[in-house]
Structure 1
Amino acid sequence: MFDKVIGIHPTASLRTWRGLLSCLSELFAVKFVEWPHQDSVRLNAGIVLPGGTVHHGLAQRAGVPRLLVFSGDAGVQEGRQRTVRFADSSSVHTALRGQLLSEEKAPSGHSLAAVEGDEILATVEGKPVWLRRRHDHGTLDFVAAVPPGLGDGERGYDYYRRGRFMGMLPLLSFLQDVTREVAWELPPLRACLMFDDPNLHWLSYGFVDYRELARHAAQHNYHVAFATIPLDGWRVHPRTAELFRQHKDRLSLLVHGNNHTHRELGRAGDEADMLPLVAQALRRIEGIERKAAVEIARVMAPPHGACSAASGSALRRLGFEAVCVSRGSLQRSNPDASWPRTFGLGLVENLGGGLPVIARFGLSADFSADIILRAFLQQPIIPIGHHNDLADGLELMAELAGKINRLGGVAWADMKTIARSNFLTRKEGNVQAIRLHSRVACVPTAPDVTELRIECPALQEGQEELFVVRQNGEQVAPCEASGRCLMFQVQSAEVLQARVVCRERLEPARLRVPSTRLWPVARRLLKEAVDRVQPCLGTPRRPAAIGRSLGRQPVGA
């Protein structure tokens, strides 16, 4: 399939916005060229960046059916938040329709003058900041914003996040539309609500009652994953384990550190220093699985959001499939890391030589923005809280689930399923192409597929990993390998399993692990006791920020 050719006007913008255009070329099947161009180049669309001028004749002469125009500084005022209101229109992405989002640098709207027939896609203070104008040869989108240049040290996440998105979002939306027929197929929109710390010691943990939560999750259609601490594996309550087995479609577990001490996975250093700790965590998790007969996803939610590259490498070598942490925490834990410009705009990030990082987000004062912005890019939606977020009951869960379910087509899943579904597919004749962002992926294939091409963009130059493909339970050998791409001859199969295996993979049972120290045990027992006694004391209530995000007066305010 051929990339779409996008003309950039004025031609100097190719240099000024070099970083941004490079980033977008990695995300979309596009090629950016100068416009007007001295040669006869057939354009699929055009983008007019600040400093350029636009008129119908320019687009008509080039035969450009779609045009996106950025209107200079558009009255941007620093230091004042405004609300962007998106139209409830089929011209707007389903995740954005009718939504209100706060923007730190929202344009005032004075520079966009709508004429009769224009469709207004977004407004600020009642004034259009994004509109669509149709003409005989196609459409023109006008945006009252300035796209980011993405200079040295800047990433997509800096300009596409809660509170700051208008410079990027219309551009991403435009390219989604232009490349739709040649784009890679994304996984369905997936979601999972997550709580840190709960264990299987009893039928409840603090304000979390597993029985009540299982019933509520079935009623309101959601899934909850609990990040459990391996150190807590000394006890499994039989009825609690049975409850998790019976309601595995609604309740599940993943791994939360090892001892849950301060920054235990966030320490800078060598991979060798982290291997014993990770191996001990896995041994303890295997013990919980044997006692409870419940599977625990090999996905690590690091305590306090701290996970260094050394820990990521150790997790990868010992068979973990992903890390789940916020992007902000990931950056803070790795201040010297060189993140790609696409950071924050893809399905996952990568750490430690190819371990996927699935982004989660806290229940802040504006978590609805996180939900909407992730849904727009088809990224997993994973809000994270703690047991005391349920101090006022399960209304918060109903609110969260309702907001997510209203997006439509949401697949609720445990973290193993989410980790294994982070891949893109594209069919080219009899060739099924897969772009892996998972360590393990179960890929549905069409009956006429005879070749499988696997790309693994996370692999670093010179890094060697084993690619294992199974068809109907049988391993298939690659027929061709080139760098980060492999070809496999396959026969008809409904689902193929593709697995990336570390060549230097280690088994936890073969590593020496640290002895259990008194302080982490005492600290954890004390913290659990405090958590469990809180419902008896009636404190603390739900954090005020969450109350504000639901549009209600915080308890105690």
Structure 2
Amino acid sequence: MTKLYHIQISPHFKSPPGTELFSILEQLLPINFIFGAQDGIEADGAIVIDDSADKDAAGVPRISLSSPAEPANKSPQIETEVEFANDPDVPFPFRGRRVNTKLAQVESVLAARPDETVLASSKRGPIWVLSKVGGVKHFRSALPLPHISTEENFNDVFNGECFLEMLVLLQFVREITANTAYQNAPLRAGFIIDDPNLHWPRYGFVDYREIIAHAQKENYHVSFATIPLDTWFTHAATADLFRANSQWLSLLIHGNDHAKKELARNYSEAMRKGLLQQAIQRIKRLERKTNIHVCRVMVPPHGACSDAMLAELSKCGFESACISTGSLRAHNQDKPWTKTLGFFPAEIIQDCPVLPRWGLTSNVKNSLLLAAYLGQPMILRGHHQDLKDGGAVFDEYARFINGLGNVFWSNMTDLSRLSYLWRMEGTTCLVKPLGRSIAFELPNEATKIVIESPESIDNCTWQTTSADGFQRKIMSGEHLLLLKEMGSKILIERAPPSSPCVKASLKPTGVPLILRRLLTEARDRLLVL
């Protein structure tokens, strides 16, 4: 059982602030916010206002924030250049970087005291500083608490456009919870281009040979989300390119017919099963003809996918889905789980792991930094038009991503299987899978492993497969003794769904959809002429 940390909110706040914010953070982290001193509860940290003293929270980490503006009087956010210090107390990957982000209170700065280290500054002066009192960290910020209305969610205050107020708060919480904090999987990344198929060595502005050359030079991997309807024909030489260059190119699944809101419609359960089974059958046909493995990761057309469809994906043989946070929320607005989207390395929605991805927007580099901070896979997506100037756009982002450290680039199955959190308790390694299958490398000091089911999943049976080929089944929370012959790498898989995807009748694709797809492909190919 993970320790619950209590964070005291200073009584100097005029009223209990950030109700929605605190509710969301309590769902995401092992923390509990308390307002003022409460009998029998010892605070592990404190949030105060304008550096006010609080004798009830002495001797614990604290953060002093600026007075928040009333929601009705909130100023419009203004893009501001922020420079982070090259200091160990600045979190990776922001250390020593200069970024542009939007702030509401750009006028406020701090007068840093001699005992304080400046962690971040705007052009006006310091906005985030740190001092250590008796070895305890005291943060000060010129920024207020991030404000989240009842209509907003976590991602509204922590995204590529605006994030600093939340970053300051999250880093303070990390300081408090450091003794029991989970660690993330290694840095990992991939690019996705939606729509291309294997009908020819080019698809619009996509030239597979050229992409291979760029990927080899700059060290990256490109996955193509291919439409199952398109599997009626395969160009042999194009298939050869994919087979011979699987380190740089791969395929995943993009809907079924690529119809409008194809995975977000109000289908019956039988219709959802039929649609997904047809997609899998078409993909298996492609695999038989080409001897190319297609990742069982679903990219819904236009990001439109209902949670009812997500519930069917795992039952029908899909390992995960890859959908932007904005799209998930847009097509599931009435679902309570949208409040916390954007925090974990992968979301588990209706028992389906969902990996994030981002478009090639002007602030996407900030999104990549936030993904690295949160332990998320850095997945960028585009269409063939984004390559109209060749592969230079991917080269630029690959250099930025590779500059963060040792980054693992691979296909979407491999990235999906790195969705987990882990921590050590003595020599026991606790692993929390955020997917149905994960590939985990055991720390050298580990003698036992415990698999912790995510909060959204009931206790279940897991199967581990070690390097010696031996398979072992264990329940969530059960200890598994690690033997030397097992090696350092294990595959952890959850037992199949209790309600597998039963065979459903398949509805033939209508002529209008086939014509629409053929015309769309013709348009894409003619754009390069």
Is the shorter-chain TM-score for this pair beyond 0.5, marking a shared fold? yes
Per the alignment, do residues 524 and 167 of structure 1 end up closer, same or farther by CA in structure 2, a change over 3 Å counting?
same
Q: For residue 412 of structure 2, what is the aligned residue in structure 1?
A: 415
Q: For residue 515 of structure 1, what is the aligned residue in structure 2?
A: 508
2:392 alignment partner AA: E
The one of 61, 67, 73 aligned to 2:68? 73
The one of 246, 249, 252 aligned to 1:248? 246
1:362 alignment partner AA: G
Map 1:224-239 onto structure 2 (within 5 A). 224-239=222-237
SS in 1 for 2:505: coil
Bigger shift: 269-278 or 522-531? 269-278
- Kept in 1, the 8 Å contact 2:182–2:423? The answer is yes
Q: For residue 492 of structure 2, what is the aligned residue in structure 1?
A: 498
CA drift at 1:81: 1.7
Q: Does 1:405 align with 2:388?
A: no
- Kept in 2, the 8 Å contact 1:74–1:108? The answer is no
In structure 2, C-alpha distance between the alignment counterparts of 1:133 and 1:217, rounded to whole Å: 45
Q: For residue 526 of structure 1, what is the aligned residue in structure 2?
A: 519
In structure 1, C-alpha distance between the alignment counterparts of 2:391 and 2:398, rounded to whole Å: 11
CA drift at 1:80: 4.0
CA drift at 1:422: 0.4
Q: For residue 478 of structure 2, what is the aligned residue in structure 1?
A: 487
In structure 1, C-alpha distance between the alignment counterparts of 2:406 and 2:227, rounded to whole Å: 32
- Kept in 2, the 8 Å contact 1:147–1:167? The answer is yes
In structure 2, C-alpha distance between the alignment counterparts of 1:188 and 1:11, rounded to whole Å: 41
- Kept in 1, the 8 Å contact 2:78–2:106? The answer is no
- Kept in 1, the 8 Å contact 2:272–2:309? The answer is yes
SS in 1 for 2:183: coil
The one of 301, 304, 307 aligned to 1:306? 304
Q: For residue 58 of structure 2, what is the aligned residue in structure 1?
A: 62
- Kept in 2, the 8 Å contact 1:21–1:32? The answer is yes
The one of 324, 329, 332 aligned to 2:330? 332
Residues 523-546 of structure 1, C-alpha deviation per residue, up to 9 Å, x if partnerless? 11111111112112xxxxxxxxxx
Q: For residue 542 of structure 1, what is the aligned residue in structure 2?
A: none
Tell me the TM-score normalised to structure 1 length: 0.85
Q: For residue 437 of structure 2, what is the aligned residue in structure 1?
A: 440
Q: Does 1:83 align with 2:100?
A: no
In structure 2, C-alpha distance between the alignment counterparts of 1:511 and 1:173, rounded to whole Å: 49
Root-mean-square deviation (CA, aligned residues, Å) is 2.8
CA drift at 1:379: 1.1
The one of 364, 367, 390 aligned to 1:367? 364
Q: For residue 377 of structure 1, what is the aligned residue in structure 2?
A: 374
Bigger shift: 248-257 or 486-495? 486-495
In structure 2, C-alpha distance between the alignment counterparts of 1:454 and 1:2, rounded to whole Å: 11
1:402 alignment partner AA: R
In structure 1, C-alpha distance between the alignment counterparts of 2:106 and 2:338, rounded to whole Å: 32
Q: Does 1:132 align with 2:130?
A: yes
In structure 1, C-alpha distance between the alignment counterparts of 2:282 and 2:47, rounded to whole Å: 55
2:492 alignment partner AA: A
Q: For residue 221 of structure 2, what is the aligned residue in structure 1?
A: 223
Per the alignment, do residues 263 and 31 of structure 1 end up closer, same or farther by CA in structure 2, a change over 3 Å counting?
closer
- Kept in 2, the 8 Å contact 1:70–1:142? The answer is yes
The percentage of counterpart residues that share the same residue type is 32
The one of 204, 208, 224 aligned to 1:210? 208
- Kept in 2, the 8 Å contact 1:298–1:320? The answer is yes
CA drift at 1:242: 1.8
**Unpaired segments ≥5 residues, structure 1:** 537-557
- Kept in 2, the 8 Å contact 1:452–1:490? The answer is no
CA drift at 1:450: 3.8
In structure 2, C-alpha distance between the alignment counterparts of 1:225 and 1:286, rounded to whole Å: 18
Per the alignment, do residues 496 and 273 of structure 1 end up closer, same or farther by CA in structure 2, a change over 3 Å counting?
same
- Kept in 2, the 8 Å contact 1:156–1:343? The answer is yes
1:20 alignment partner AA: L
Q: For residue 554 of structure 1, what is the aligned residue in structure 2?
A: none
Q: For residue 20 of structure 1, what is the aligned residue in structure 2?
A: 21
Q: For residue 541 of structure 1, what is the aligned residue in structure 2?
A: none
- Kept in 2, the 8 Å contact 1:67–1:140? The answer is yes
In structure 2, C-alpha distance between the alignment counterparts of 1:469 and 1:153, rounded to whole Å: 42
Residues 311-369 of structure 1, C-alpha deviation per residue, up to 9 Å, x if partnerless? 11221210211111111111111122111643211112233x21011111111232222
Q: For residue 549 of structure 1, what is the aligned residue in structure 2?
A: none
Residues 29-85 of structure 1, C-alpha deviation per residue, up to 9 Å, x if partnerless? 4455566565694x554332x4x7534x849x8323x32111213899622422141
Bigger shift: 510-519 or 232-241? 510-519
Map 1:7-46 onto structure 2 (within 5 A). 7-11=7-11, 15-30=16-31, 32=33, 36=37, 41=42, 44-46=44-46
CA drift at 1:259: 0.7
In structure 1, C-alpha distance between the alignment counterparts of 2:125 and 2:171, rounded to whole Å: 20
Per the alignment, do residues 314 and 453 of structure 1 end up closer, same or farther by CA in structure 2, a change over 3 Å counting?
closer
Tell me the TM-score normalised to structure 2 length: 0.90
Q: Does 1:477 align with 2:473?
A: yes
**Unpaired segments ≥5 residues, structure 2:** none
